[in-house]
Amino acid sequence: MNRQKRDRKQRAFSKGYQAGLHQQSRDNCPYQNIDQKEQWLGGWREACERSAEGYFNR
């Protein structure tokens, strides 16, 4: 049975979330497609907010 690939938008969100956790700049977004870029930035923004709220300790 073949594995199904994840949705590209979901993957972009996940990658953005990881970038936000590692405190990378939002200018590091690797996507050119507007839909994927929006998802990446959404993930980045959510990770930054949660980090600021104290969910993640560094």
Pick from 6, 17, 23, 7: nearest CA to 40: 17
Domain definitions of the chain by residue range: 8-23+32-52
- State which amino acid sits at residue 8: R
Residue 43 CB coordination number (10 Å):
22
Distance of CA 27 to the CA centre of its chain: 12
Per-residue pLDDT of the chain (58 residues; tens, 9 = 90+): 566 677 899 999 999 999 999 999 999 999 999 999 999 999 999 999 998 888 766 5
pTM recorded for the entire structure: 0.83
CA atoms within 13 A on the CB side of 9: 5
Q: Are 9 and 35 spatial neighbours (Cβ–Cβ below 8 Å)?
A: yes
Distance of CA 18 to the CA centre of its chain: 6
